[in-house]
Structure 1
Amino acid sequence: MDVSFLGGPTPQRGVGIVAPFDFALDRELWRWVPDDVSLHLTRTPFVPVEVSLDLARLVSEHETLREAVRALCAVAPEVVAYACTSGSFVGGTAGERAMAAAMTQAGEVPSLTTSGALLEALLEIDARRIAIVTPYTKSVTDSLEEYLDEAGIAITGRSYLGLTREIWRVPYRDVVDMAREAVVDAPDALFISCTNLPTYDVIPQLEAELRMPVLSANQVTMWSALRGIGKEAVGPYQALLDPVARRGPAAMTPSPPALHDADGLDDPADTLQGHGHHGHGHHEPEAAFAGAGTESSDPMEATDLGFPQSGHTDEWGGGAQPPV
């Protein structure tokens, strides 16, 4: 059978990704990528150290990154991203810039890091006061806060799990719980740190509930890398990516308190539903594994995400709620 009429495969644009040796979310990265872009991933060498500041420093040594970029350049990516949040913020803003410069020099290709992409994304959405959620220990979370403070970003609240391994196993419900606890004092946005923490499906749900942009480590990395080659990341109802999700003042404003009639009863027509926060400092590590590995086959199932099944249509700027 003659199949010459098929021609060749669709031409692809290349994005190189350097990931830590324990990165487990390759598939999640691909979900932000349009069909005409291919990801080329490589990993840093294994080191027998748990997630910590020491590990962050080890996996982000300049020579380690240079070697990874040189390997990727065999397939000629147009941009290279270092997909590690802690590894790129542990040296502060100067360390992050030096890291990106070392990668760029090694491969003679534009390079970026997750933490650098985060600052770029915060500038894009004009967020200067944010809440943060991390799976890290206190010391690593403190280091993230120091990095952001150095960049002029204020932290209004935070929540962390205290994990040192297998972060990719954290279910969405724990991410949701941490987000609710972290969002205090009306931040401009929420940032969910760590490229090994699953976030793709939970972002639109949290934006609908919290009425603010929600950024995540993998999201900002892919957004910045794709923007670097003139492409747009794919992510419906994510404020960073979708103009519809940012449209109008009602789309990203906190819900006001319930209004009361003269008889003291709430008027359903005047009440906007919202969820409260607890303001706790952190979860204990064990919380992350309460139900780990038992997620529904549908990652957007409301009971698994921890969201009540309300059916209200006024939770997303007065329009239809994002698809679940």
Structure 2
Amino acid sequence: MNAHTLLPPNPRLIGTITPSGNTVVERTTQAALRDLPQAAALFARIPVHGDRDPFPDRYNLAAMLEAATLLSHARPDAIIWNGSKGGGIGLEHDRDLVARITDATGIAADTSGLALLRAIAASGVQSIGLLTPYAEAHQRRLVERLNAEGVPVVSERHLGMTDNLSYASVPYDTILLQARSLAAQKPDVLLAWCTNYPAAPLAAEIEAETGIPLWDATMLGLLGGLAVAGVAERPNGWGSLSGLL
């Protein structure tokens, strides 16, 4: 392997904002882009950690826009919020966020939540089985808000967890059990909705076993960024979602 393989010239840059307590977004993004030299990711963090959110019903826009501005110094081709909070507070906040980022930086933006809406529109799915690590109250709110956005959640499984960092520690076997339980109810799609929940590497395995597509919030954010940045190629080995967006 030579230096040209390691550092391809002039890749499309995906500026990615992620929560400070998240350990999954960078790992998933870098792994997915490993065989896609046309694109590379840059990262910035905002304060989101622990089990208490000082902004329970909205985004911390000051932190979001500071992160976007810092990313803009590298002139990325897209800036994305790879976070799942919009699902629980309402995706009107995501629409407002991308408009503010573009107004502030001149760079096109996207979010995992808005990519989810496009995936639903492109596929025409009628039923979704939702799997998360969340606690009961958070899960109820999430289902309610997603349904209000036209995301047809008809069944769900959650793990009762509250600390942001703990989401990343969910074993693969636990996620597989959640997915199998939901798959038995025959939804059109399984949706793993938490960007600090390591479901993305299991997508191909779950799809092969159940015959049901698995969409992951982190991959939705990344694929949205690739589309906004004008990258036509998609990662291989991460499930059928890559061929949809």
Output the TM-score relative to the length of structure 2: 0.87
Name the residue aligned to 1:202. 202
Structure with bigger helix share is 2
Q: Matched residues in 1 for 2:237 and 2:178: separation?
A: 23
Deviation at 1:186, TM superposition (A): 2.5
Deviation sequence 1:189-238 (CA, Å, 0-9, x none): 11001111112321011111221111001111111110112223303261
Q: Matched residues in 2 for 1:155 and 1:184: separation?
A: 15
- Cα distance, 1:197–1:139 mapped onto 2, change above 3 Å: same
Note if contact 1:89-1:96 (Cα within 8 Å) is conserved in structure 2.
Answer: no
Name the residue aligned to 2:143. 145
Name the residue aligned to 1:102. 100
| Corresponding residue SS for 2:212 | coil
Deviation at 1:127, TM superposition (A): 1.4
- Cα distance, 1:9–1:193 mapped onto 2, change above 3 Å: closer
Note if contact 2:13-2:229 (Cα within 8 Å) is conserved in structure 1.
Answer: no
Q: Matched residues in 1 for 2:193 and 2:117: separation?
A: 13
| Corresponding residue SS for 2:153 | strand
Q: Matched residues in 2 for 1:212 and 1:56: separation?
A: 35
- Cα distance, 1:239–1:55 mapped onto 2, change above 3 Å: farther
Q: Matched residues in 2 for 1:209 and 1:116: separation?
A: 28
Q: Matched residues in 2 for 1:142 and 1:102: separation?
A: 29
Q: Matched residues in 2 for 1:94 and 1:194: separation?
A: 18
Deviation at 1:169, TM superposition (A): 1.1
Q: Matched residues in 1 for 2:137 and 2:58: separation?
A: 17
| Corresponding residue SS for 1:158 | strand
Aligned-pair RMSD on alpha carbons? 2.1
* Identical positions, percent: 23
Name the residue aligned to 2:111. 113
| Corresponding residue SS for 1:15 | strand
Q: Matched residues in 2 for 1:192 and 1:237: separation?
A: 13
Name the residue aligned to 1:187. 187
Name the residue aligned to 2:242. 241
Q: Matched residues in 2 for 1:68 and 1:160: separation?
A: 31
Deviation sequence 1:267-287 (CA, Å, 0-9, x none): xxxxxxxxxxxxxxxxxxxxx
Deviation at 1:111, TM superposition (A): 1.0
Name the residue aligned to 1:215. 215
Note if contact 1:130-1:187 (Cα within 8 Å) is conserved in structure 2.
Answer: yes
Note if contact 1:85-1:217 (Cα within 8 Å) is conserved in structure 2.
Answer: yes
Note if contact 1:157-1:183 (Cα within 8 Å) is conserved in structure 2.
Answer: no
Q: Matched residues in 2 for 1:150 and 1:94: separation?
A: 11
Note if contact 1:93-1:150 (Cα within 8 Å) is conserved in structure 2.
Answer: no
Deviation at 1:83, TM superposition (A): 1.0
Letter in 1 for 2:82: A
Could you list the runs of 5+ residues in structure 1 that have no partner in the other structure?
1-7, 244-324
Deviation at 1:96, TM superposition (A): 2.2
Task: Tell whether 2:64 aligns with 1:37.
Answer: no
Could you list the runs of 5+ residues in structure 2 that have no partner in the other structure?
1-6
For residues 256-271 of structure 1, what are the structure 2 equivalents within 5 Å? none
Runs of 4+ more than 4 Å apart: none
| Corresponding residue SS for 1:153 | coil
Deviation at 1:58, TM superposition (A): 8.0
Output the TM-score relative to the length of structure 1: 0.67
Q: Matched residues in 1 for 2:126 and 2:98: separation?
A: 23
| Corresponding residue SS for 2:41 | strand
Aligned residues: 232
Letter in 1 for 2:143: E
Deviation at 1:74, TM superposition (A): 0.7
